[in-house]
Amino acid sequence: MSMAELLHVESSTSSHHERQDDQQGFDIKELVSDRESDHPHKLADVVYDAICKDGEEQPSRKGLQSFRDKVFETCNAKQIILKGVRIGGKASAALCKQVLSSPSFSSSLRTLDLSANQLAYYGVLSVLQIIRSVPSLKFVSLGNNSIGSNGAHEIAKMLSTNTSLWSLDLGSASSAGGAGGGRGGSSSSSVSSVSSVSGAAAIGGVGRNRVDGKSAAKLALALCRNRSLTSLSLNANDLGADGLKAAETFAVMLTRNKSLTQLSLQDNQLGSKGAALVLASLAKNQTLRHLNLSGNGVGSDAGRTISAVLQTNDTLASLRLNGNSLGVGMLSFCEALTFNTSLIILELEGNGIGDSGAEAIAQVLLTNRTLTAVNVADNQITPRGAHAMAVALAGSPVLASLNIAHNSIKNESCVALADGLVGNRVISELDISSCKIGDTGVAALVSAIGNNPHCVIRKLRVRDNYITADAGDAIVDGLFRNTSLTVADFRGNQIDHVRLGKIKSICSRNLTQIKDLEPRRLRAEIGRLRGEQIKLRQAQHTLAHHRAAIQQTRQRINVIEEEKAKFLSLQQQRREEIRAQIEREKQSIEEARGRLEEKKRELSGVEAAYSERLAETQIQLDAQLESRRQVEAQLAKVKKELADTVRDRPAKVNELKMSIEEVKQEKAAFQNQLTHIRKELLRLQQAYQDAQPIPHLIEQAKALLMANAESMDQITLEQRGGKKISKKIS
């Protein structure tokens, strides 16, 4: 009975056990006190009591015994595996206390798996205390524990300083079937692990971890500083609106981190742009070997990015892109796959690549020499694409696993696949489930497997097809001749249980024979190794003689080397002396050159100063000459004017005298007129005083006065002008 069934029985009969415990006076503390030196028992008792407190339940003897059985089955000094047992905050604290108080756990514990429990934030704090206090702890799994963003933030703080942890799983159960497989089930271990987690989750009532985009970005930033973690899983956390930001941070981390080899970001809604950023960062990353971006909405536009990565990156070994929407985008990177020498596993399940995509991959398989596992299940492949895959199956020297399930390939294509198996020595897994294959196709397939003496196929899955009961005997007869097949799954067809049992018996027989062959191979290997041992001893004896001769030769060589070293030392010493002398001479020459340059600069300065002074002197001389010419010209002009003046002096004097006489006469006339006007003014003033106003006479008098004043002024100016002319003539 499994642990899940035991817990179910416990919950359904809890009231009955509680009544029994009340009658018997059950007290778990008494049992714990009796187990002080027995660590597994003590661990089981203390943690179970805390689990009951977390769930507010009454402890029972049967529940305790079931939990003890679980602990003894999965826990020891090196590992603690407690999946889906409802460990909460109190139980995780109790577990932490027991681990840290036990010398065996605290010094040897390497694996801690608490998946599908109810840790939440406070439970995470207890687990982090274990990680920090137990340096031997390397693998930690906390999937499906509702740790939330706060719990992820605390984990990021731990990762930024931790130097011992190798692997950390913070994923959640997803519908895609785990990190490695999909509906086709090419990775059975991944599918089974997820199934167990999902079942435990259903019983324990746990939920997804729900790490949001911001917390995921903090985890990525912590990994920029971490140098020990090699594997990180964040599956099915639905990063949501901040998924693109988280993808950007992971892309930056992948360009800086030098330790991470496995990264799984399945079902996180990164989108085509976010996934492209993560993929593009691999061009600068040379450590990551396994990348899972399944279920992230990667579109056809990411094909070119993948192509660029496959052309430059030579470390990526597995690339899982299941459940996306690549479509024809995968055609962009098939050419790069042809020349890639590192990729071993390629999973493209549920991408709608169609027949064109299948043909492109088939062409790659014919030339690529490293791609050993291909998953193209659920891709709308028809018989045309399946025929191309059959040709690749026959022609590829390395293809060991092919999953083409959930495609409508039908009988004709199955016959072609059977032809590809004839003479094939490398294919070990083939999945053609849900491919609408009938009796004709499966008959050809089992015949090829049974009649191929070099066939190494181990796993064959032909589930959910159109195989009738009539083909059961033919399948049994065909597989009976095969000695390599250990798993043959024909469920979901019309084959009766008797034939299915015979097929299972054939697989069991082959598995037993394979196991029995191992001792025989070991004995043959031992005999071969003994012969090699004798040859080795002879070679060692011969080698001893050669070593002695080599030792003598080395001694002579050492003497020669010493003499050579002395000679080289003397030579080196002489070289150093000559170099020193040359350096001194060079230094002297440089100093002389410096002085010469300085003198040249001084001479250039003097020449420049003299040239400048000479130019200034020439300019001054030219100015003086020009000034002299101007003075001489002015002097000549003055002399000419003086001569003219002396020549014309008598005429001008007479003319001036006549002008003076005329002015005098005009002045006398003016004075007479002025006297007359004054008399008239007196008369007018008298008349005015006698009250006889004559305004028009006053205006005439004013006008007359103004005219006489102007005439007087003109006469005065002429007199002054005449005096000046007289002075100039004299």
The continuous run of DSSP H or E covering 355 comes out as helix 354-367
Higher per-residue pLDDT: 38 or 242: 242
* Angle between helical axes of 14-24 and 61-74 (0-180°, round to 10): 110
Q: Where does residue 257 rank: exposed (0-12), middle (13-18), buried (19+ CB within 10 A)?
A: buried
Looking at this protein, which amino acid is placed at residue 169?
D
Is residue 107 classed exposed, middle or buried when 0-12, 13-18 and 19+ CB atoms within 10 A define those classes? exposed
Residues paired with residue 113 on neighbouring β-strands, in sequence order: 81, 141
Residue 318 has pLDDT above 80, yes or no: yes
Backbone angles phi, psi at 577, to 5 degrees: -65, -45
Helix pair angle (472-480, 497-689), 10° resolution: 100
DSSP single-letter state for residue 282: G
User: In one letter, which amino acid is 350?
Assistant: G
- For residues 7 and 48, is the Cβ–Cβ distance under 8 A? no
Place of tokens 């410096």: 594
Mean pLDDT to the nearest integer, 628-641: 87
Alpha carbon 140 to chain centroid, angstroms: 25
Inform me whether the pLDDT recorded for 234 exceeds 50: yes
Task: Decide the pairing of beta strands 139-141 and 79-81.
Answer: unpaired
Residue 403 in tokens: 């999953």
Q: pLDDT tens-digit profile of 637-690?
A: 888 888 887 787 777 778 888 888 888 888 888 888 888 887 877 877 777 676
Q: Specify the higher pLDDT residue, 15 or 255.
A: 255
Burial 285-294 (b: 16+ CB within 10 A, else e): beebbbbbbb
Q: State the Cα–Cα distance between residues 32 and 106, nearest whole angstrom.
A: 20
Decide: pTM greater than 0.75.
no
Sorted by sequence, the CB contacts under 8 Å of residue 692 that are 6+ apart come out as none
Percent of all residues in the chain with a pLDDT value above 70, rounded to a whole number: 84
Q: What is the pLDDT of residues 506-550, one digit of tens each?
A: 999 999 988 887 777 777 778 888 888 888 888 888 888 888 888
* Burial class of residue 422 (count of CB atoms within 10 Å of its CB; 0-12, 13-18, 19+): middle
Q: 647: part of which helix (H) or strand (E)?
A: helix 497-689
The model's pLDDT over 570-582, given as tens digits with 9 standing for 90+, comes to 999 999 999 999 9
- Dihedral in degrees, nearest 10, Cα atoms 23, 27, 28, 29: -170
Q: Where do the DSSP E strands lie in 432-568? A: 459-461, 487-489
Helix (H) or strand (E) holding 111: strand 111-113
Q: Quote the pLDDT of residue 545.
A: 85
- Asked whether residue 339 carries a pLDDT value surpassing 70, the answer given is yes
The helix or strand, by DSSP H or E, that contains position 702, with its residue range, turns out to be helix 695-729
Q: What is the CA radius of gyration of the chain?
A: 57
Q: Widest CA span of the chain, in angstroms?
A: 179
**Cα-to-chain-centroid distance, residue 185:** 31
Tell me the C-alpha distance between 594 and 596, whole Å: 5
The distance from CA 353 to its chain's CA centroid, rounded to whole angstroms, is 28
Sign (positive or negative) of CA dihedral 667, 668, 670, 674: positive
Task: Give exposure, 163-174, as e/b (b: 16+ Cβ within 10 Å).
Answer: eebebbbbbbbb
Q: Residue 17: is its pLDDT beyond 80? A: no
> Alpha-carbon distance 254 to 284, whole Å?
8
233 - beta bridge partners? 169, 264
- What would the two tokens of residue 690 be? 């006698």
How far is residue 292 from each of residues 192, 306, 654, measured CA to CA in Å?
Answer: 18, 13, 133
Q: Say what the pLDDT of residue 519 is.
A: 78
From residue 705, give the alpha-carbon distance in Å to each of 106, 673, 676, 677, 697: 139, 10, 11, 8, 12
pLDDT tens-digit profile of 61-82? 899 999 999 999 999 989 999 9
Give the amino acid at 550. I
Beta carbons within 8 Å of 205's beta carbon, 6+ residues apart: 86, 118
What's the pLDDT tens digit per position in 451-471?
A: 988 889 999 999 999 999 999
Q: Are 261 and 229 in contact (CB under 8 A)?
A: no
What's the whole-number mean pLDDT along residues 334-350? 92
Strand partners, 385: none
CA distances from 193 to 172, 177, 364, 433, 705 (A): 11, 9, 32, 21, 139
Q: How far apart are CA 124 and CA 150, in angstroms?
A: 10
Asked whether residue 29 carries a pLDDT value surpassing 90, the answer given is no
> Using an 8 Å Cβ cutoff, are 240 and 271 in contact?
no
C-alpha 123/C-alpha 86 separation (Å) is 11
Single-letter code of the amino acid located at 29 = K
Looking at the predicted structure, is the pLDDT value of residue 698 above 80? no
pLDDT in tens, 162-220: 999 999 999 986 533 333 444 544 433 333 333 333 333 333 345 788 898 899 999 99
The tokens of 343 are what?
Answer: 């990729």
CA distance 244 to 257: 20
Within 25-147, where are the H helices?
Answer: 28-33, 39-54, 61-74, 89-101, 103-108, 120-133
Q: Is the pLDDT of residue 604 over 60?
A: yes
